[in-house]
Copies of this chain bind each other. A is one copy, B any other.
Amino acid sequence: MRPTITAFEISPDRGQGLARDMRVRWALEEVGQPYEVRLLSFADMKEPAHRALHPFGQIPTFEDGDLALFESGAITLHIAERHTGLLPTDAQARARAIGWMFAALNTVEPPVVELSLATILERDKPWFAERQPVLEARVRTVLEALSNRLGAADWLEGEFCAGDLLMVTVLRRLYRSGLLQAYPKLAAYVGRGEARPAYQRAFAAQLAIFERSKRRD
């Protein structure tokens, strides 16, 4: 039986692959696990039926037989633990790879999301011009540290791993800001992630849903 994930019926990012189901799709494609997708409207996401799966009323969720999970990071780790290809087999390298998963979501993503939220929600506010450089500086601080650590390596921990998968999806949220381009090593790193066949398949699958929703309009 195939696992089922949930995704936006009409993604607010218009198919750019920034919604968090992209992480789970990519992980499933990397390990060669076929899956089903159940699409949800914003109204569906707030219904008790979905809240039972995801207490915070968001996407994605992951259902596999009796098991239901939420949080894209947790689902990615679950997939990585049950298949080969997303975590090193050496115990220490595996622990470090999981460390990069937490770094992506708890150190890098928060300032990146704050910057995009402000760009979207506060553009017309009188304080926008004064706050924006502060938010950008917070992002640059983590990008510089990450770029220094990555150095000349292709991936954060030897071979491509679930930590890279999450990190690439977080860094992609910076495209509109122009900040990523100032760190050529990181821009190339994101490019390597996007070039992976599994990424391409996941991206095409989520884009197809958005394209279909446009045609229905």
Partner-B contacts on A (CB < 8 A): 51, 55-58, 66-67, 69-75, 77-78, 92, 95-96, 98-99, 101-103, 105-107, 109-110, 113-114, 125-127, 130-131, 142, 145-146, 148-149
Contact = CB atoms under 8 A, between A and B. Distances in A.
Contact of A69 (B55, B72, B96, B148): B96
Indicate how many identical chains form the complex: 2
A110 B142 CA distance: 15
Given A56-B145, A148-B55, A98 B110 contact: no
Contacts of A69: 95-96, 99
A98 B77 contact: yes
A41 to B, nearest CB: 18
Given A71-B107, A74-B102, A110-B113, A146 B95 contact: no
A78 B98 contact: yes
A93 to B, nearest CB: 10
A168 to B, nearest CB: 16
Given A66-B92, A95-B67, A95-B69, A105 B105 contact: yes
10 contacts: A56-B142, A66-B92, A67-B95, A69-B95, A70-B103, A77-B98, A106-B106, A110-B114, A125-B130, A126-B127
A101 B56 CA distance: 14
Contacts of A148: 51, 55
Contacts of A96: 67, 69
Given A55-B146, A55-B149, A56-B107, A102 B114 contact: no
